[in-house]
Amino acid sequence: MNFIAEIDIMTKKEILDPQGKAVKLGLENLGLPTVEDVRIGKYIVMQITAENESQAREIVETACQKLLANLIMETYQFEIKTM
Amino acid sequence: MNFIAEIDIMTKKEILDPQGKAVKLGLENLGLPTVEDVRIGKYIVMQITAENESQAREIVETACQKLLANLIMETYQFEIKTM
């Protein structure tokens, strides 16, 4: 079966995000001063072939922990959908 | 009221994603050959002060269209949650 995994990776709150700060300033200059906190992370979409959803979930867990996320600085969350 | 917006921005399918290809190769080397297509985009979380959800939605739409996404090459989707 084919699955689609949508992964969101974000730096932890304790870690400064200068890119997010720059975007916040940009939004203020655009006339959107009510945006208060901006953080920028990665959004990863992958197609997976697996026998069932729990196997697909395992593959994504391994991918996140070993390659995609830096667990010291980042957290991840994901959703798996059938195609 | 305070809202949290979670925005996912992704390059359109027609556009090559070399970063995603590199990650796919990395996953194969990790022993995950069943991952078939990887695309990498941006995940943006922002805090918004607005009177109601529809106003918050409008602010996020403006932010995406004017600053965050390049509409020629990228698509965006977002969710709004109350804090």
Q: What is the ipTM of this complex?
A: 0.92
User: Quick one: pLDDT at residue A83?
Assistant: 84
- Could you tell me the residue range of the domain that residue A59 belongs to? 2-82
Interatomic CA distance for residues B37 and B29, integer angstroms? 15
- pLDDT-derived band at A77 (thresholds 50, 70, 90) equals very high
What percentage of chain B reaches a pLDDT higher than 90?
Answer: 99
pLDDT digits (tens, 9 = 90+) for A17-32: 999 999 999 999 999 9
Mean pLDDT over the full length of chain B: 96
Chain A residue at shortest CA distance from B41: A43
Our count of domains for chain B comes to 1
A35 to B59: CB separation less than 8 angstroms, yes or no: yes
Q: Which of A6, A42, A66 lies nearest to residue B42, judging by beta carbons?
A: A42
- Residue carrying structure tokens 């992704």: B10
CB A45, CB B79: distance < 8 Å: no
Using the predicted structure, report yes or no on whether residue B83 has a pLDDT greater than 90. Answer: no
Interatomic CA distance for residues B40 and A32, integer angstroms? 27
Query: Which CATH number characterizes residue A24's domain?
Result: 3.30.1280.10
A31-45: average pLDDT: 95
CB A24, CB A38: distance < 8 Å: yes
CB B55, CB B68: distance < 8 Å: no
A61-67: average pLDDT: 96
* Chain B residues 10-49 within an 8 A CB cutoff of chain A: 10, 20, 23-24, 26-27, 30, 32, 34-49
CB A44, CB B43: distance < 8 Å: no
B11-34: average pLDDT: 95
Using the predicted structure, report yes or no on whether residue A49 has a pLDDT greater than 90. Answer: yes
Q: What does the H/E/C string look like for chain A? A: CEEEEEEEEEECCCCCCHHHHHHHHHHHHCCCCCEEEEEEEEEEEEEEECCCHHHHHHHHHHHHHHHHCCCCCEEEEEEEEEC
B22-42: average pLDDT: 95
Closest of A54, A20, A50, A26 to residue A38, by C-alpha? A20
